Chain A
Amino acid sequence: MSTVAEERNARAPWALTAPALILFVGVLLIPLAMTVMLSFHDWGQYKGIEPVFILKNWKEIATDPYYAEMFWRTFRIAILTTLLTALFGAPEAYILNRMSGRWKSIFLLVILGPLLISVVARTLGWALLFGGNNGLVNKLLMSLGVIRSPIPFMFTETGMVVALAHVMMPFMVLSVWAALQRLDPQIENAAMSLGAGSITIIRRIIMPQIMPGVLSGAIIVFSLSASAFATPAIIGGRRLKVAATLAYDEFLNTLNWPLGAAVATLLLVALVLIVIGSNALIERRYAEVFR
Chain B
Amino acid sequence: MRRNGPLALIFHTIFVIVMVAPIVVVCLVAFTPEGFLSLPTNGFSLRWFRAIGNYPEFIHAFWVSLGLGALSSFVALLFAVPAALAIARYRFRGRDALAALFLSPLMIPHVVLGIAFLRFFTSAGFGGSFAALIIAHVIIVFPFALRLTLAAATGMDRTVEMAAVSLGAGGWTLFRRVTLPLILPGVISGWALAFIQSFDDLTMTVFLAAPGTETLPVRMFLYIQDNIDPLVTSVSACVIAVTMTALILLDRFYGLDRVLAGKGDTGR
Residue of A110, A112, A170 most packed against chain B (CB within 10 A): A112
Query: Which size class do B's interface residues fall under?
Result: 35 or more
Q: Are B11 and A107 in contact (CB under 8 A)?
A: no
- Provide the A12-33 mask, 1 if CB < 8 A to any CB of B, else 0: 1110110111011001101110
| Chain A interface residue count, Cβ-Cβ cutoff 8 angstroms | 96
Asked if A164 is at the interface of the complex by the 8 Å CB criterion, the answer is: no
- Provide the A242-268 mask, 1 if CB < 8 A to any CB of B, else 0: 011001100110000100110011011
- Decide yes or no: A136 and B82 within 8 Å by CB, A88-B15, A98-B2 being known contacts: no
Counting residue pairs across A and B whose Cβ atoms lie within 8 Å, the total is 268
Asked if A127 is at the interface of the complex by the 8 Å CB criterion, the answer is: yes
Asked if A144 is at the interface of the complex by the 8 Å CB criterion, the answer is: no
- Decide yes or no: A98 and B236 within 8 Å by CB, A14-B92, A117-B23, A117-B200 being known contacts: no
Asked if B98 is at the interface of the complex by the 8 Å CB criterion, the answer is: yes
Q: Which residues of A contact B135 (CB under 8 A)?
A: 27
- Provide the A164-190 mask, 1 if CB < 8 A to any CB of B, else 0: 001001110011001000000100110
Asked if A83 is at the interface of the complex by the 8 Å CB criterion, the answer is: no
A85-122 with Cβ < 8 A to chain B: 88, 91-92, 95-96, 98-99, 105, 107-122
Q: Which residues of A contact B165 (CB under 8 A)?
A: 4
Q: Which residues of A contact B108 (CB under 8 A)?
A: 32, 268
Q: Which residues of B contact A30 (CB under 8 A)?
A: 120
Q: Are B263 and A229 in contact (CB under 8 A)?
A: no
- Decide yes or no: A129 and B4 within 8 Å by CB, A23-B138, A120-B202, A264-B115 being known contacts: no
**Which chain B residue lies CB-closest to A127?**
B228
Q: Are A99 and B256 in contact (CB under 8 A)?
A: no
Asked if B191 is at the interface of the complex by the 8 Å CB criterion, the answer is: no
Asked if B87 is at the interface of the complex by the 8 Å CB criterion, the answer is: yes
Q: Which residues of B contact A169 (CB under 8 A)?
A: 19
Q: Which residues of B contact A32 (CB under 8 A)?
A: 108, 112, 116
- Decide yes or no: A20 and B119 within 8 Å by CB, A112-B260, A116-B243 being known contacts: no
Contact of A128 among B37, B102, B142, B202 (CB under 8 A): B37
B75-95 with Cβ < 8 A to chain A: 78-80, 82-83, 85-87, 89-92, 95
Q: Which residues of B contact A (CB under 8 A)?
A: 1-5, 8-9, 11-12, 15-16, 18-26, 29, 36-39, 78-80, 82-83, 85-87, 89-92, 95, 98, 101-102, 104-105, 107-112, 115-120, 123, 135-136, 138-139, 142, 158, 161-162, 165, 196, 199-200, 202-203, 206-207, 217, 220-221, 224-225, 228, 232-233, 236, 239-240, 243, 246-247, 256-257, 260-261, 263-266
